[in-house]
Chain A
Amino acid sequence: MLPYIINNSIFNMPNLFKIKPSVGLLSLPYSLVFIFFFFIPLVLTFVISFWDYNEYSIIPDLILENYRYIFENCFSFENGMCVTFKTYLSTFMFCLITWFFTLIIGFFVAYFLAFYVNSLTWQIALFLLCTIPFWTSNVIRMISWIPLLGRNGLVNDFFLSTGLTSTPQEWLLYSGFSVVLAFVHLYTLFMIVPIFNSMMRIDKSIIEAAYDNGANGFQILWNIIIPLCKPGIVIGSIFVITVVMGDFITIGIMGGQQIPSIGKIIYVEMSYLQLPAAAANAVILLFLTLLIIWIMTKMIDIRKEL
């Protein structure tokens, strides 16, 4: 019961406003950091997305050219889909698939940790196991997939030696499959943590009461645990979706640089000093990501649930 009460009082906004004077003071340092290193850069990005540019400088202006350029040929489908739509479609697909798998795996790992592991020491130990994917650098991790999934890798060796396939399977690496695999491998933790947190706050006596009233395991899961885990699920989903939407390193390396991502387009534009174009792309990406998050928070009021 105790964690629930503490959390409730911290996150319950109306309570906060009762102690108004000190709140302003307490939140001042973070507000300043937030304003200077988040809000102002964001406003600048927005402003610059309307500027003009040439090979070596950006020119203050108010033009829609950067946005028009992004959506050029996008509304006449005679030559197939335009790059921007294709790229966003591919990114959305990765989001959806990654979200689905991280949610399923993350939920059940959290479920196991919360309800089947009773000692705190073991919970901590198993949690640390979940962080193993983060122990090495991005590059090393990506490179390490080659000996596993590559043409001459372990998986293909297994397939060939057991006669499951007669030729090496190339879709294992540098494909949509390997991108999703890397995402799930990394970001499941982002689901586990908030869902586990929600689960730990479920009052065990509610579950006992459900048992006493004759509910079976599935009914308890569906009618009690999942609804009470909603905040954790939404927070985890926000983590996963925002990270995948902006990713270009994982998609780049695991996709063999042959799969487009918005992040990569922004990166290339920035390296060619097309900063206003990159800013315009960033604004659109931000808008879409915020839109998704807004929809998710419409489904559930996180503030209230916490």
Chain B
Amino acid sequence: MKKNITRRNMLKTSTAAVGAVAGAGLLKGFPAIHAADAPVIRYLGTAVNMGDAVQKRLFDDTGIKVKFIVKTTDEVVKTIFTQPNSFDIVDSEYFSMPKLVPSGNLLGMDTKRIKEWDNVTSAFTKGEVAGKKIGDQGTAPKKVMYLKGSNSKEFASEPTQHVTLIPTVYNADTLGIRPDLIKRPISTWAELLNPEFKGKASILNIPSIGIMDAAMVVESMGEYKYPDKGNMTKKEIDLTMKIFTEAKKAGQFRAFWSDFNESVNLMASGEVVIQSMWSPAITAVRTKGIPCVYQPLKEGYRAWAAGFGLPATTKGRQADICYEFINWYLSGWVGAYLNRQGYYSAVIPTAKKYMESYEWDYWMLGKPATADIMSPEGKKLASKGEIRDGGSYEARMGSVECWNATMDENKYMVRKWNEMIAS
């Protein structure tokens, strides 16, 4: 009976045509019940890291196909709440966990089934890089990693067997600048509100991330020292928004952006010379041949991290396939792919195996490139002799100051953010 239910679920998940072809072609010789269950995973996420190359490689290696349900970060969260059975696997960010876990819609992931679990970077499991504690303000992954059990709705403070998400990718974010238009060194977050860049600055209009960048700026201006930037009190939110409202009224910002492509266009066109930016946006500007630097700043980085979760109802063969997919994801090929995009893979040793040594030296060790550095799509990102912005993995991840966060006063924060936009 149990098998039947699983089979039904899997049939539902597979698109009929793909299922028939893949099932007949790849799983010949398997018991009949398996042959009918062609593995197709409905993958909910922003899918920014999942290009065609990844899907092709996945299919070649495992025979698993992926059907994407592409949504924005916020919509992914909404989908987990409202349609928890509309996907088989979700790619989500850790900062959503304080909201998601109490809903009970996600399964506690069994680390015993993850081959490379012991190799997952300590930035996730312990909040350390190279044995050194890194900043943990905001929703640092280690705070929302462990659960009290597989069906638990509560976080555990000590490492346990069950986790919220299996980590996949993370990065340290900072400000992007146009060095050719600024023509002087930039070393602090406070420069975002420097009147010198009046009408040429930008910040992203996604409240939960924008507020963190704003807090980095306020703190570096010496206006206020937050006990925890990632969990502000109402007073702290007021203070932060007051400073930004004044700057906005004074015409500091050329525009705000809410879509990745907008940030690329603002920067590439020269409308903006300093702004909040994400790593692939820097790459996109650079591949147009326009100089753009992901500027390391003395106060440190704002980090984010994502991972895979499963719906609470996952079991049986469906779970097997999803774990197989996750194990493949962490087995190195994707890790190298992510590293080459300027992100970091959650399992570093396996990724190393799939990278050329000159690539490894450039991306991970911060050494000057000994050959031209190419993006995974084969576009040139850096010439021989150039050094990665921010340097090595240890220098970048080791300087993390805070993490993307869900605050207790989230509702109030969103409201105040809207007030700033309306001011």
Contacts and interface: CB of A to CB of B under 8 A. Distances in A.
Interface stretch (A17-25, A41-49, A264-272): A264-272
A87 B259 CA distance: 22
Interface in A255-306: 256-260, 264-265, 268-274
A273 B77 contact: yes
A271 B102 CA distance: 18
Contacts of A268: 207, 414, 417-418
Nearest to A153: B269
A23 to B, nearest CB: 39
Contact of A139 (B100, B248, B261): B261
A258 B103 contact: no
A173 interface: yes
A55 B102 CA distance: 9
Contacts of B269: 146-147, 150-152
A109 interface: no
B404 to A, nearest CB: 14
Interface string B385-423: 000000000000000000000000011001101110111
B144 to A, nearest CB: 14
A246 interface: no
Interface in A25-74: 55-57
B262 interface: yes
Contacts of A265: 418
B43 interface: no
A146 B421 CA distance: 21
A264 B421 CA distance: 10
Given A83-B418, A174-B254, A265-B418, A273 B81 contact: yes
A271 B74 contact: yes
A56 B99 contact: yes
A280 B342 CA distance: 42
Contacts of A139: 259, 261
Given A143-B265, A150-B271, A257 B81 contact: no
B45 to A, nearest CB: 16
A150 B271 CA distance: 7
A270 B82 CA distance: 12
Contacts, number: 86
Interface string B254-275: 1111110110010001110000
B72 interface: yes
A252 interface: yes
A151 B78 contact: no
Given A257-B255, A271-B74, A57 B271 contact: no
Interface in B67-103: 72, 74-75, 77-78, 81, 98-100, 102-103
B102 A252 contact: no
A151 B271 contact: yes
A86 interface: yes
Interface-central residue, B75, B417, B423, by most chain A CB under 10 Å: B423
Contacts of A86: 422-423
Interface-central residue, A86, A260, A271, A273, by most chain B CB under 10 Å: A271
Nearest to B78: A273
Interface residues of A, number: 33
A264 B248 CA distance: 18
Contacts of B81: 56-57, 273
A256 B201 CA distance: 11
A252 B257 CA distance: 9
B357 to A, nearest CB: 40
Contacts of B421: 257-260, 264
A272 B96 CA distance: 11
B273 to A, nearest CB: 10
A56 B103 contact: yes
B136 to A, nearest CB: 22
A263 B81 CA distance: 22
Given A143-B261, A146-B265, A146-B271, A272 B418 contact: no
Contacts of B199: 170
Contacts of B258: 252, 257
Contacts of A252: 205, 258
A241 interface: no
A151 B417 CA distance: 27
Nearest to B248: A258
Given A86-B422, A147-B269, A271 B72 contact: yes
A260 B78 contact: no
B155 interface: no
A232 B94 CA distance: 54
A87 B422 contact: yes
B253 A256 contact: yes
Contacts of A57: 81, 103
A229 interface: no
Nearest to A147: B269
A160 to B, nearest CB: 15
Given A56-B81, A174-B254, A271-B72, A260 B102 contact: no
A253 interface: yes
A173 B418 contact: no
Given A174-B255, A272-B410, A56 B102 contact: yes
Contacts of A56: 81, 99-100, 102-103
A256 B410 contact: no
Given A57-B103, A173-B271, A257-B421, A270 B257 contact: no
A256 B275 CA distance: 13
Contacts of A273: 77-78, 81, 99
Contacts of A83: 415, 418-419, 422
Contacts of B98: 55
The 9 closest A-B pairs by CB, nearest first: A256-B255, A257-B256, A271-B74, A260-B422, A257-B205, A56-B103, A174-B255, A83-B422, A55-B99
Interface of A: 55-57, 83, 86-87, 90, 139, 143, 146-147, 150-152, 170, 173-174, 252-253, 256-260, 264-265, 268-274
30 contacts: A55-B99, A56-B100, A57-B103, A83-B415, A83-B419, A86-B423, A87-B422, A139-B259, A146-B271, A174-B254, A174-B255, A174-B271, A252-B258, A256-B254, A256-B256, A257-B255, A257-B421, A258-B248, A260-B422, A264-B421, A265-B418, A268-B207, A268-B414, A268-B418, A270-B78, A271-B72, A271-B74, A271-B78, A272-B74, A274-B414
Given A55-B410, A83-B415, A257-B421, 13 more contacts: A55-B98, A55-B99, A139-B259, A146-B271, A170-B199, A170-B254, A256-B253, A258-B255, A258-B256, A260-B418, A269-B414, A270-B78, A271-B75
